[in-house]
Amino acid sequence: MPSTLPEGDPAPRDGSLPDAALAELPDHRFGIYLHVPFCRTRCGYCDFNTYTAAELGPGASRTDYVDSALAELDLAARVLGDRVPKVDTVFVGGGTPTLLPPTELGRLLGGVDERFGLADDAEVTTESNPDSVSAADLARLREAGFTRISFGMQSAAEHVLRVLDREHTPGRAQQAVAEARAAGFDQVSLDLIFGTPGETLDDWRASLQAVLDAEVDHVSAYALIVEEGTRLASRIRRRELPAPDDDDLADKYLLAEELLSAQGFSAYEVSNWARTPQARCRHNLAYWRGDNWWGVGPGAHSHIGGVRFWNVKHPTAYAGRLVAGESPAYAREALDAETRRMERVLLELRLADGLPLAVLTDSERSRVTDPVRRGLAELRDDRLVLTLTGRLLADGVVRDLLD
């Protein structure tokens, strides 16, 4: 099957990185992303690099996955050397990470600690589907050192869950939150999707209220994106379902801001709200702020000192390279200073702290008056900060600045 990964430049077989990239390690926080590519079933909207048992084919084993990931961690430790700081954040994503037993996820986390060391206040997150984890599993994950858990709730409406091909029942996500609290998790997040075909504004209001009733610390709410090649895209193309409507998406975003802010949540990024600054997802903030991270697993992406690289996608190919003593990296690209600057504009403008005006060129600073005049942004202490209306049009604001 041909790869759909970016082409980039050939990645060295030994995984080595330029000296200039390694020299930046001490100046930034360092995180580890661990990609667990397994799902029980494939959701109709999902185009992530994930595999069901039927899709894995011969030679790929969920049982052997952790050993392969630990081998990549060995490689990362050799490549990064002694200049890498202790790990500030670990994020286990997927896929459905909690399809692996808690002992295996604990072994992954232990592997990170043994090779790099965890910072004393490290944030350690795992994603989970509400129906893929039990109260006993959550207790074992907490004992293994996980400090934060993010449940994929998506909706409280049964008919919306059906359209998304989600297997859990309404109410299970809230129950999982209570079980995570009882297990000792201080930070619990729920993820939502709005704009699913057939979802009414009242459905969305009910989902938001269910999240508030669960008393979580963090909420992610993303507008549905119909990705080509997914089952949902095929259904919309056949006109079995209507396509998402931009006005409907805007109304639902505004409702999310209204209800969440009324209960003490603040948007610290366009699609993410937290009750307190301490409840913000530090791992995701590292992405938006251009810090360093190593992505472990099939298809995982990494960024070290301005060099971005990504692994082969299929678990069989991934494991095979590591068994052969080679890096699983498929390709990479070295970002020049201008590209890194433009990415700062794209990503940091999405944050509640806004973008320092010093990042902009003279010509770009001359364009700042337009989004301010239109009420899309405001100036605060030499930073450009999006307004609520500007958050709805964030991509357009960035385009206008960089045009």
d(CA 59, CA 382): 55
- Euclidean distance between CA atoms 56 and 115, whole angstroms: 29
Structure token pair of residue 133: 């984890």
Residues 6+ apart with CB under 8 A from 146: 105, 109, 124, 125, 126, 185
Would you tell me how many other CB atoms lie within 10 Å of the CB of residue 149? 28
Closest to 271 measured CA to CA, from 262, 290, 284, 283:
284
Write out the residue range of the structural domain in which residue 25 sits.
Answer: 9-289
Q: Quick one: 18 and 116 in the same domain?
A: yes
Of 256, 289, 322, the domain-final residue: 289
Please enumerate in sequence order all residues whose Cβ is within 8 A of that of 293, keeping only pairs 6 or more positions apart, or say none: 30, 31, 32, 33, 89, 283, 286, 287, 302, 303, 304
Position 212 scores a pLDDT of 98
138 and 233 assigned to the same domain: yes
Calpha distance 156→209 (Å, rounded): 9
The total of structural domains in the chain comes to 2
pLDDT at 2: 34
* DSSP symbol at 395: H
| 314 inside domain | no
pLDDT reported for residue 91: 98
Do 241 and 382 sit in the same domain of this protein?
no
Q: For residue 403, what pLDDT is reported? A: 81
Assess whether 122 and 258 both reside in one domain. Answer: yes
DSSP string, 134-150: -HHHHHHHHHHT--EEE
Question: Are residues 179 and 70 located together in one domain of the fold?
Answer: yes
CATH of the domain at 115: 3.20.20.70
Same domain, 279 and 353: no
Instruction: At 230, list the tokens.
Output: 């997914």
For residue 59, is it within any domain? yes
Is 296 within the bounds of a domain? no
Q: In whole angstroms, how far apart are CA 265 and each of 76, 192, 279, 300, 393?
A: 37, 15, 10, 31, 21
Does 297 reside within a domain?
no
From the list 55, 47, 3, the residue with the least C-alpha distance to 228 is 47
Q: Which ranges of 194-245 does DSSP label H, i.e. alpha helix?
A: 201-214, 231-237
> Mean pLDDT of successive 10-residue segments in the chain (403 residues)?
65 97 97 92 80 60 88 98 97 93 97 98 96 96 98 96 90 96 97 97 98 97 93 92 96 98 98 98 97 97 98 93 96 97 97 97 96 97 97 96 90
Q: Give CA–CA dist 160/196, Å, rounded.
A: 7
**Residue 307 falls within a domain, yes or no?**
no
Which of 289, 315, 345 corresponds to the end of one domain?
A: 289
- Stretch (H or E) spanning 365: helix 362-366
HSE-up (13 A, CA, CB side) for residue 114: 10
Residues 345 and 266 in one domain: no
Q: Is residue 259 part of a domain?
A: yes
H or E segment to which residue 67 belongs: helix 65-80
3-state helix, strand, coil in the chain (%, to 5): 45, 20, 35
Residues 169 and 108 in one domain: yes
pLDDT at residue 61 in the model: 67
What pLDDT is attached to residue 54? 55
373 within a domain of the structure (yes/no): yes
Instruction: Verify that 108 and 253 share a domain, yes or no.
Output: yes
313 lies in a domain? no
Residues 34, 182, single domain; the answer is yes
Q: Do 19 and 103 reside in the same domain of the chain? A: yes
Claim to verify: residue 207 and residue 342 sit in the same structural domain: no
166 DSSP assignment: -
**Prediction pTM value:** 0.94
The structure tokens listed for 259 are 């209800």
The owner of tokens 């993410």 is 272
